Chains A and B, each alone.
Chain A
Amino acid sequence: GEDVEQSLFLSVREGDSSVINCTYTDSSSTYLYWYKQEPGAGLQLLTYIFSNMDMKQDQRLTVLLNKKDKHLSLRIADTQTGDSAIYFCAESSGGSYIPTFGRGTSLIVHP
């Protein structure tokens, strides 16, 4: 079945850029998503990208998609302590459009 892989942890200093990477196996993926989960809360949709796009930018967030390599990344510029959270990558494809989630990357931001 489909698989979505992410590294489990990332540690950065406040003010640096963070890059969270994700790989997926389903070549028919149509939509790719990034969700953020803060402690004690549910997941919040941060951004999503259609598979026919290479890049999407939204304020401090930049999403890059390499369809050939099935690689998705989320770059957070000027990372703040409030960005500390778990970030989930997810992909969905035609039909039911039910996303497959990665295991999540815990981003730790040090002052």
Chain B
Amino acid sequence: DADVTQTPRNRITKTGKRIMLECSQTKGHDRMYWYRQDPGLGLRLIYYSFDVKDINKGEISDGYSVSRQAQAKFSLSLESAIPNQTALYFCATSDLERQGGYTFGSGTRLTVV
């Protein structure tokens, strides 16, 4: 099994729908992150969590929310999806020892029509 698992792998949804992307990890890491990848723009941080009770906004949090249900689970929600949220979404984890060396999931490709 993968260390960081994202579900679903692909999703097409309609404008205005609520959608949740899920991430679970078996690394035992405290830190979890959600990124979005757009062609030519690299990775942009949406939200991050350093432990279950700690949630922080990243550089592009508008239109997104997160929930850290347990150390191993971190979900990302789009409350009312819009077409410019079409992107590849990555969950990542890290521990303090690796100082930012991330383990990434395989990504969720989201299309909003």
Binding site for B on A (CB under 8 A): 8, 30-31, 33, 35, 40-45, 48, 88, 90, 92, 97-99, 101-104
Q: Which of B38-54 contact A (CB under 8 A)?
A: 40-43, 45, 48
- Cα distance, A99 to B48, chains bound together (Å): 12
**Residue in contact with A31 in the complex, picked from B4, B41, B100, B104, CB distance below 8 Å:** B100
Interface of chain A: mostly helix, strand, loop or mixed? strand
Interface residues on B, range: 20 to 34
> B104 — which chain A residues lie within 8 A by C-beta?
42-44
B102 touches A99 (CB 8 A): yes
B101 touches A42 (CB 8 A): no
Binding site for A on B (CB under 8 A): 4, 33, 40-43, 45, 48, 90, 92, 96, 99-107
> A33 — which chain B residues lie within 8 A by C-beta?
100-101
> A98 — which chain B residues lie within 8 A by C-beta?
33, 45, 48, 100
